[in-house]
Structure 1
């Protein structure tokens, strides 16, 4: 079984007791979005000077020119860094972005140039790391533009994404909620529980229907010693999304730690059912079995991940590796060839690739 404490972090994620929150004025969702996506005057003037909104310039050319301006040495020269995650103004001031902050800035600037850009988020993208015995799984965000019946993407962090489901369009409010969700997780990693609590409260206020944000709120409460609010947050996540892998795993871990064995077993059964239909969980299980040398079991989990999500090169590469370890050279070559074919197709898809050094 994979580890049960998960944080879903939009990378490149009960009640909140007031005494644990750094007190500050709480703006409305619309005001919060304006604060986090406001384009500084200096940056707006620089984009205006590009004259991207002139009549006669095709929208796709505007998109390409804006992207080049953002990453070129003689433009903004933005550089990729995974964290921290900044709003538009601070990203501009520091010239540092991850996939979320780049997407926010690109959308804001594109709209000033007359291009109706919007945010897209994958349901779950497989990018992960271990921090303090916590598994961080990441979603992925990028910008979308519809031009003459075709959809284009602007994605500064696509090279860092191992696998992802088909992305869906999200609102500006949901995008900004993920900014504060990221900030909360980043603050938690620094041990700043008060600010983590404040940030996750802002994220919940913006997007109270996000199971991922509620699950992350539970982790923050748990790590801050607030066990009852943690349980309430996990249960709220499951009300919103009954098969939410992270909330189920977190809840099982919490009940095991507190000796609530019957409840742990009940939710563990739900977790196993959810994992059985989740390609990412199957892949993570396979990775753990590979590390233990159980290659046949690992191969079975890789094959299940592939059945659930067939066109992801990483799954096929990993299965080929398991076959090699098992001495099944013919199956390994066949699987590797298929992985290469899928990867070539992925790289040829219509998109504007990341160009900033250090991204990935």
Structure 2
């Protein structure tokens, strides 16, 4: 469902470059985390009416989930951006996957459930905004019960057993909130605000390659190429195959005429892209623009092999087949895309927030 976490931009910072006046990171990390995860008093006071005592842990989880999404409860609505903290999400009744996860965890803990955040390593969504590629991973809540790990996912009606996501700490979760705020500030042209937020994110999670790469975007957009390069290299020290940092570094070296360095990192990038479905999709899009429809279809098919249930991949494959005159294959691909979209829509549990809706 949601697309609200971990944006990979096309441009992180060396640590010393963040000393730019008061920032959220100047709070003690533990105090900052506690403040971010705190429930508004009014929301906490709503818990007794849910009658969560003397029921199983999974029943408490289900009741909390329904309370959050039901029309006679909080009636939360999905809004991709901006990313709000718990208090403002509650006041507005608007959440994305990150803010929903934070609110659920805080409510669950107040109800005696040991909930925590999980993050999927797979890209959940991707889009181009001007000259920036945004890629988003998925954050959701987890609990351990009956020797199983359960996921509470705002995108689905049910609570499902799942082992794939990795558990992240509260510090990492709150760092993602600051990361999202940094990305959103940068998109809005507020580079200073973006720098403050990314500094807070790195103070909480200094080992995140993704955040270092995003911080490099902010530095490059501010004209500090050396700082951007250091940030991308730091990201690659943490994660050698970080596709965002690799792509950003190649673009930086190409722009500065460092052809040998650009080629070296481009070789690494191509190796990573070969197993990355969204990279294959982008390659296919470029081939479509140049009229190479059969080659584009080949990359779309590879993207589908790597990530079979992404409707956009099948829809784009249908377009490639149609352009190549393969009408029967185009119909099959389009029908498959439609089936996947209908399945996702039927399982969506939080409606989209639209202008004028609450």
TM category (shorter chain) comes to 0.7 to 0.9
Structure 2's unaligned 5+ residue stretches are 1-5, 158-162
The separation in 2 between residues aligned to 1:246 and 1:184, in whole angstroms, is: 16
Q: Is the 8 A contact 2:76 2:350 kept in 1?
A: no
Greater displacement, 262-271 / 146-155: 146-155
Q: Is the 8 A contact 2:117 2:141 kept in 1?
A: yes
**Once the 2 structures are TM-superposed, how far is the Cα of residue 15 of structure 1 from its aligned partner?**
2.4
Q: Is the 8 A contact 2:250 2:266 kept in 1?
A: yes
Structure 1 counterpart of 2:160 = none
The separation in 2 between residues aligned to 1:114 and 1:24, in whole angstroms, is: 29
Q: Is the 8 A contact 1:71 1:356 kept in 2?
A: no
Structure 1 residues 263-278: aligned runs within 5 Å: 263-278=261-276
Cα pair distance change 1:345/1:40, threshold 3 Å: closer
Cα pair distance change 1:168/1:230, threshold 3 Å: same
Structure 1 residues 252-331: aligned runs within 5 Å: 252-310=250-308, 312-331=310-329
Cα pair distance change 1:283/1:156, threshold 3 Å: same
Structure 1 counterpart of 2:3 = none
Q: Give the secondary structure class of the aligned counterpart of 1:124.
A: strand
**Once the 2 structures are TM-superposed, how far is the Cα of residue 339 of structure 1 from its aligned partner?**
5.7
Structure 1 residue corresponding to 2:230, chosen from 222, 229, 232? 232
Q: Is the 8 A contact 1:123 1:139 kept in 2?
A: yes
Deviations 1:32-78 (A, max 9, x none): 211111112221111233221x11x2333322221222123332222
Cα pair distance change 1:291/1:58, threshold 3 Å: farther
The separation in 1 between residues aligned to 2:188 and 2:71, in whole angstroms, is: 32
Structure 2 counterpart of 1:35 = 35
**Once the 2 structures are TM-superposed, how far is the Cα of residue 114 of structure 1 from its aligned partner?**
2.3
Greater displacement, 16-25 / 135-144: 16-25
Q: Is the 8 A contact 2:18 2:195 kept in 1?
A: no
The separation in 2 between residues aligned to 1:197 and 1:254, in whole angstroms, is: 19
The separation in 2 between residues aligned to 1:323 and 1:131, in whole angstroms, is: 26
**Once the 2 structures are TM-superposed, how far is the Cα of residue 224 of structure 1 from its aligned partner?**
1.2
1:214 aligns with 2:212: yes
Structure 2 counterpart of 1:139 = 137
Deviations 1:218-239 (A, max 9, x none): 0011111122111100000011
The separation in 1 between residues aligned to 2:172 and 2:116, in whole angstroms, is: 11
The separation in 1 between residues aligned to 2:127 and 2:329, in whole angstroms, is: 30
Superposed CA RMSD: 2.9
Cα pair distance change 1:118/1:18, threshold 3 Å: closer
The separation in 1 between residues aligned to 2:115 and 2:24, in whole angstroms, is: 32
**Once the 2 structures are TM-superposed, how far is the Cα of residue 111 of structure 1 from its aligned partner?**
1.6
The separation in 2 between residues aligned to 1:25 and 1:286, in whole angstroms, is: 41
TM-score (norm. length: structure 1): 0.84
Deviations 1:247-271 (A, max 9, x none): 1111111122222222222222222
Q: Give the secondary structure class of the aligned counterpart of 1:17.
A: helix
Cα pair distance change 1:339/1:93, threshold 3 Å: closer
TM-score (norm. length: structure 2): 0.84
Structure 1 counterpart of 2:179 = 181
Structure 1 residue corresponding to 2:68, chosen from 48, 61, 70? 70
Greater displacement, 309-318 / 203-212: 309-318
Structure 1 residue corresponding to 2:151, chosen from 150, 153, 158? 153
Structure 2 counterpart of 1:162 = none
Structure 1's unaligned 5+ residue stretches are 1-5, 160-164
The separation in 2 between residues aligned to 1:206 and 1:140, in whole angstroms, is: 19
Number of aligned residues: 341
Greater displacement, 22-31 / 62-71: 22-31
1:90 aligns with 2:88: yes
Structure 2 counterpart of 1:3 = none
Q: Is the 8 A contact 1:44 1:109 kept in 2?
A: yes
**Once the 2 structures are TM-superposed, how far is the Cα of residue 216 of structure 1 from its aligned partner?**
0.2
Cα pair distance change 1:191/1:333, threshold 3 Å: closer
The separation in 1 between residues aligned to 2:245 and 2:21, in whole angstroms, is: 22
Deviations 1:147-205 (A, max 9, x none): 4355543323469xxxxx94322222211111110011111112222221111111111
Deviations 1:112-136 (A, max 9, x none): 1222222221213242333341111
The separation in 1 between residues aligned to 2:153 and 2:66, in whole angstroms, is: 13
